[in-house]
Structure 1
Amino acid sequence: DALRQLSLTDCFLSSVTLIFVCVQGHRLKNSDNQTYQALNAMRAQRRVLISGTPIQNDLLEYFSLVHFVNAGILGTAQEFKKRFELPILRGRDADASERDREVGEEKLKELISIVNRCLIRRTSDILSKYLPVKIEQVVCCRLTPLQTELYKHFLRKAKSVRTLQEGKISVSALSSITSLKKLCNHPALIYEKCVEGEEGFEGALNLFPPDYSTKVVEPQLSGKMLVLDYILALTRTTTSDKVVLISNYTQTMDLFEKLCRARSYPYVRLDGTMSIKKRAKIVERFNSSTSPEFIFMLSSKAGGCGLNLIGANRLVMFDPDWNPANDEQAMARVWRDGQKKTCYIYRLLSTGTIEEKILQRQAHKKALSSCVVDEETDVERHFSLGVLKELFTLNEETISDTHDRFHCHRCVNGREVRPPADESDCTSDLSQWNHCFSKKGLKDQVLKASWDAAVSFVFYQRSHEEQKGAV
């Protein structure tokens, strides 16, 4: 009551207890950045952080958040690393010994008991009954012959790849990762590198068709782009739904624009160049049932957080981010308060490539978060931490490298014969999702009709079962 009667200046000058509240608190995950240090220097008797994703990459981020609200409860960063982080990570490794796992579990329980003194955890499950059903699908798309040849050519030629296979990490390895990710999206994104003969792409120009041109988009040259083309066409002709289309790269969004113009799809685009005022106007217009726009193109970096795009109920995540929280935030643009229709989320991945490795790293991070924050005790250990070398491989024989690594106990002769257990937590464990090797198992008619384009495998799950008589 006293705070409501005082101005901000009065608050600082009086003896009233000050409460410091930080929304999107995960932005303070790095104690070395200026934002963290500036806010940490402010005097307040009480500090509150609000975040749905307190662990995005590693446990040290979690330490930074806990330390901000309760300094010293976990010791120093070095003490935390030695006492908790290292033994927990060793125990979480797929190759961990039984003793390492036991020690890791003990340290995990100790960490949870300490942090629970200052933590209140609520998940999105409590909102599910107030929202329509969400059907999330991870769609593995085969590379085209051109993509396959370019991919193998790069792995043979790039010096950074060879040094990495020898156990050495170079700065150029990061650039190589980006090149492979762009190639997975469409060969057009690395065409200029081939023209200029950059490292790894020497002589690769000869692999392109003789009449190739970047002036128009050719969906048939990319497995994911071809599947996207089918999804958009079928959504447009068989439903009244709108689509949100998300990518991490503005270059990929340029290709989306070319595709929309070629197919005469009305669209709007939001990226980092758009002002805040203009963003609000186009979002409001797109959400209107009378607006003509069919597609909302969105840069995940510019608009992946905070936007309400309930005018659409289908969302395509065209490429994965290393940080699972970034993808989760982006995919939540349509499944939120105010949505009235069933939501369909499509996460496209190139089969057997670096994109599946990224998904696997996401699964490892989400499993870690599930254990530490949500106190899940049965999260599977599917992936070893020593996967860096495997980033630069191509598995041409698989229909899903991720499913292969699960050693799935619910499949017989390549077919799912037993559904996930009713109590399975699909939010953190992809192996507990339904999955299918053919379109026969799909309920989503749009994806089912798109299967023959280039789909090799699909993981899928429903958020919840729709309640009868629900409004």
Structure 2
Amino acid sequence: VYVPPVLAKWLRPHQREGVQFIYECVMGLKDFNGHGCILADDMGLGKTLQSVTLIHTLLKTGITANGAPTAKRVIVVCPCSLVKNWENEFVKWLGPGVVKTLAIAEADRKTVERNLDTFVRTKIFNVMIASYECIRTHVGRLSKHADCCDLLVCDEAHRLKNSDNQTSRALNSLPVRRRVLLTGTPMQNDLQEFYAMVDFTNPGILGTPEEFRRKTLFPILRGREPDASDAQKHKMMQIQNDMSRIVNDFILRRVNTLNAQHLPPKLVQVVCCNLTEIQQNMYQHLVNSKDMQHVLDGKQVNCLSSIQMLMKLANHPSLASMAAPGADGIAKFLPYVPGEGGGRRGDFAPVRPEWSGKMFVLYRLMKEMRKPGNGNDKIVIVSNYTQTLDLIGRMCRENSWGFCRLDGSITMKKRQKMCDEFNDPNSPLVAFLLSSKAGGCGLNLIGGNRLVLFDPDWNPAVDKQAAARCWRDGQKKRCFTYRFLATGTVEEKIFQRQLSKEGLQSVVDDKEQTNQLSTKDLKNLFKLRTGTPSDTHDKLRCERC
């Protein structure tokens, strides 16, 4: 493949290999029936640059005798928070105006429809960048034109893990065979979701959904059960190997250890924080309440809300809702503070980090980090709960630590501005508070070199995405990632479940691996285990300690 020199000079060896691989897939030069490809490189390996290179190459070169370019129109679909970022990437690598891009973001319906019509009916623009929501709403205006696009690129493509949702169906209706999916986390929850992505990329390559379930999914799941027979395990390995052989023709996955030679070192630590006495008393009160006992007896009353309640309590006692199941009388465990009264605290009351094990560790970490001579580090703090971010924001204000916050309420324009300000070494910002659901994907926060995952998510891919915000191209300092867990609580059980889910990854990566931790039943979730530094460490039977 001939890549224009303007881009070729920037590509690292693994990126050159990636561009070659994607090009061969979309041009039909490989031994499989299809023109699709999944680039599943880890976060930070330059999937965007490889895609920009492919798009520019297809727009400028061709393999036919008359020399006509392979592609005239390209559609890039991404989460709404990344539309502007994609437009900036084309300018960054190619210069302004080299590729005519049309970025559709935050416009009214008529403007969006006018832009879509301009893209498909004229030759003014080569590349259209739009959000998944925009394409889902307006796909009819595109799909009625047979030549609406010659290449479809889907960023953060794990959004297509459900083949029945409207977004997947809308994109599938576009008349284009050349499809490139970009995702750092191809395996999210189960093989069914993986099948949906593969079938979108190259329809029918793993058979119909029924055939896949019968011939592949069920035998693999049976072979992974703790009580599986040797014959079932052998059959599972055989099917895994067969599937890996098929999908490896069009899925390229490299892990970010490749980045280690280009980036400063990174240290990942799982930090188990003991509950304070206040938290322990409240936790035991909730677990022993009648409502919780109903859940444990199998009546499943408010099971999810009970789990959420325990997770919020693990973050800070003041987040425990008095209206939640089993919370009657929980306020008595909060210390009486003269002038503040008992019960829940207002927005202007002190945060009191010492009431929470995790919050106090974060407080001490930030205090130590900001001492003169400690390198002036900046920190990214990720949480699943906006109420937790509220508290951390108030703690930053109390200590005069400059911070910004990105959650679902922030518009696209403000998001990019916020990231740029945080990444500026001369800005007064110390902390970037990030909602994992709103900004875990695609953001580049190389201004920070310390990242705290304040609470775990059931889906390991969500945490992986969030954890990759700092250690990526452009980072100049040594990076530290801290995964906070409240010792012995539901958080450790969720982390153990994540480790169990990570075993699924090996099905795609073609490595034999069994789950070290079997799925815990509901009763185990609600147990508080005290008297141990880490429940997870005990269960993994570490031989070094």
Where on the TM-score scale, by shorter chain, does this alignment land: which range?
Answer: 0.7 to 0.9
Question: Are 1:103 and 2:239 matched, yes or no?
Answer: no
SS in 2 for 1:200: coil
Q: 1:45 to 1:309 in 2, by over 3 A?
A: closer
Which structure 2 residues correspond to residues 4-23 of structure 1 after superposition, within 5 A?
8-9=120-121, 18-23=150-155
Q: 1:89 to 1:164 in 2, by over 3 A?
A: farther
Q: 1:272 to 1:406 in 2, by over 3 A?
A: same
Identity %: 46
Deviation at 1:398, TM superposition (A): 2.1
1:135-188 Cα deviation digits (max 9, x unpaired): 1111000011111111111111152x3344334544x10111111110110011
Question: Are 1:291 and 2:422 matched, yes or no?
Answer: no
SS in 2 for 1:311: coil
2-structure distance, mates of 1:236, 1:166: 49
The answer to whether the Cα contact below 8 Å between 1:157 and 1:200 also exists between their aligned partners in 2 is yes
Structure 1, unaligned stretches of length 5 or more? 416-471
SS in 2 for 1:310: coil
Question: Are 1:207 and 2:342 matched, yes or no?
Answer: no
Amino acid at match of 1:360: Q
Q: 1:65 to 1:208 in 2, by over 3 A?
A: same
2-structure distance, mates of 1:297, 1:385: 32
In structure 2, the residue matched to 1:316 is 452
Deviation at 1:117, TM superposition (A): 3.6
Q: CA RMSD in A?
A: 2.2
Computing the radius of gyration over CA atoms, which structure comes out larger, 1 or 2?
2
Deviation at 1:124, TM superposition (A): 2.1
Q: 1:97 to 1:230 in 2, by over 3 A?
A: farther
Question: Are 1:131 and 2:131 matched, yes or no?
Answer: no
Question: Are 1:74 and 2:206 matched, yes or no?
Answer: yes
Question: Are 1:165 and 2:165 matched, yes or no?
Answer: no
2-structure distance, mates of 1:88, 1:164: 31
Structure 2, unaligned stretches of length 5 or more? 1-60, 62-68, 74-118, 124-143
Question: Are 1:121 and 2:247 matched, yes or no?
Answer: no
In structure 1, the residue matched to 2:116 is none
Deviation at 1:347, TM superposition (A): 0.7
SS in 2 for 1:294: strand
Q: 1:380 to 1:15 in 2, by over 3 A?
A: closer
Question: Are 1:251 and 2:387 matched, yes or no?
Answer: yes
Which structure 2 residues correspond to residues 41-60 of structure 1 after superposition, within 5 A?
41-60=173-192
Q: 1:162 to 1:263 in 2, by over 3 A?
A: same
Q: 1:178 to 1:221 in 2, by over 3 A?
A: same
Which structure 2 residues correspond to residues 68-467 of structure 1 after superposition, within 5 A?
68-159=200-291, 161-170=292-301, 172-190=302-320, 193-194=321-322, 196=323, 198-211=324-337, 212=342, 214=345, 215-237=349-371, 238-369=374-505, 371-377=506-512, 379-408=513-542, 410-411=543-544, 415=545
The answer to whether the Cα contact below 8 Å between 2:156 and 2:441 also exists between their aligned partners in 1 is no
Deviation at 1:97, TM superposition (A): 4.5
Q: 1:16 to 1:270 in 2, by over 3 A?
A: closer
The answer to whether the Cα contact below 8 Å between 2:446 and 2:470 also exists between their aligned partners in 1 is yes
Structure scoring higher RCO (CA < 8 A, sep ≥ 6) equals: 1
Amino acid at match of 2:383: S
1:223-243 Cα deviation digits (max 9, x unpaired): 101111111111111331111
2-structure distance, mates of 1:407, 1:97: 25
Q: 1:393 to 1:218 in 2, by over 3 A?
A: same
Q: 1:94 to 1:400 in 2, by over 3 A?
A: farther
The answer to whether the Cα contact below 8 Å between 1:267 and 1:293 also exists between their aligned partners in 2 is yes
Question: Are 1:36 and 2:168 matched, yes or no?
Answer: yes
SS in 2 for 1:166: helix
2-structure distance, mates of 1:9, 1:3: 18
Deviation at 1:25, TM superposition (A): 1.5
Amino acid at match of 2:491: E
Q: 1:14 to 1:258 in 2, by over 3 A?
A: closer
In structure 2, the residue matched to 1:465 is none
The answer to whether the Cα contact below 8 Å between 1:93 and 1:385 also exists between their aligned partners in 2 is no
The TM-score with structure 1 as length reference comes to 0.80
**Equivalent residues, number:** 403
1:69-96 Cα deviation digits (max 9, x unpaired): 2222222323322322233233334454
The answer to whether the Cα contact below 8 Å between 2:275 and 2:486 also exists between their aligned partners in 1 is yes
1-structure distance, mates of 2:221, 2:215: 11
1-structure distance, mates of 2:363, 2:194: 40
The TM-score with structure 2 as length reference comes to 0.70
SS in 1 for 2:288: helix
2-structure distance, mates of 1:398, 1:98: 36
SS in 1 for 2:509: coil
Amino acid at match of 1:166: D
